[in-house]
Structure 1
Amino acid sequence: MELKREERGFVTETAYGSLHVSSDEQQGFRPFQLMAASVAGCSAIVLNKVMAKMRIPCDDIKVSVQVERNEAEANRIERLQLHFVIRGQNLKKDKVERAMALARKNCPMVQSVKNSIDVTETFEIVE
């Protein structure tokens, strides 16, 4: 990946289009947003795969992420709170909990930040 400087940030070309990164939210994604989206997206992808392997059928998975930053330390990300909404019929809480634990253990992004960012997950099941 190569990022090129623009007037108000940086841009990279991907197979899916241009990705603009800027400290100004009007000009592109802010770096902390990309970090949060990477961790949340990776977690959701791995959870979906784990659930499929465990034969836990679900109709939909949505994940939201709350970001806590520390202004006193360069506005670093201190905590990411992931909340999953898992939609499906007859989902068992204990099986979903096991799938969540396996997803956490096998998510490359969560494992990459585990000693620097506190990542917590919660979930709810919706029929």
Structure 2
Amino acid sequence: MEFHSKENGFVGQFAYGELHVSGDEQYGFRPFQLLVSSIAVCSGGVLRKVLEKMRMPCTDMKVTAEVERNEEQANRIEKIHLHFVVIGEALEEEKVRKAVDLARKNCPMAQSVEGSIVLTESFEIVSRSA
């Protein structure tokens, strides 16, 4: 990856397009937003794959992230809580709970911050036919 400075941040060129990063969200994504997004989306993607392997595919999913930062220590991220809303048919609570645990263990982004950021998860199931 390569990033070039601009007046109010940096820009990177990727196959999908440009990524603008700045400490001021008027000029790009803030670094903490990208970190939390990578953990949330990676976890959600792994969870979707685990559910498919368990023969419980979801028809949709929403992930919300609550972030706790420590202003006294450079505003570092201390805690991230991910809440998964898993939408589908015939989803069993205990199996979804196991899938959430497996997703955490197999998500490269979650594992990258293990021991540095407290990561917790919760979920709810919404029954809906495909």
Answer yes or no: same fold by TM over 0.5. Answer: yes
Q: How large is the Cα RMSD of the aligned pairs?
A: 0.6
CA deviation profile, 1:16-58 (whole Å, cap 9, x unmatched): 1100000000000000000000000110010011111111121
Cα separation, 2, equivalents of 1:105 and 1:22: 31
Alpha-carbon distance in 2 for matches of 1:118, 1:64: 16
Matches within 5 A, 1:1-12: 1-12=1-12
- Shift >4 Å, 4+ stretches: none
Q: Which moved more, 1:49-58 or 1:29-38?
A: 49-58
- The percent identity for this pair of structures is 61
Q: Please tell me whether residue 103 in structure 1 is matched to residue 96 in structure 2.
A: no
Give the structure 2 partner of residue 19 of structure 1: 19
Partner of residue 46, structure 2? 46
CA deviations on 1:46-74 (whole Å, 9 max, x unpaired) are: 00111111111211111011111000000
The TM-score with structure 2 as length reference comes to 0.96
Tell whether the 8 Å contact from 2:48 to 2:57 is kept in structure 1 after alignment. no
State the TM-score, normalized to the length of structure 1: 0.98
CA deviation profile, 1:65-92 (whole Å, cap 9, x unmatched): 1111000000000000100000012211
Which amino acid in structure 2 is aligned with residue 119 of structure 1?
Answer: L
The residue number in structure 2 matching 1:86 is: 86
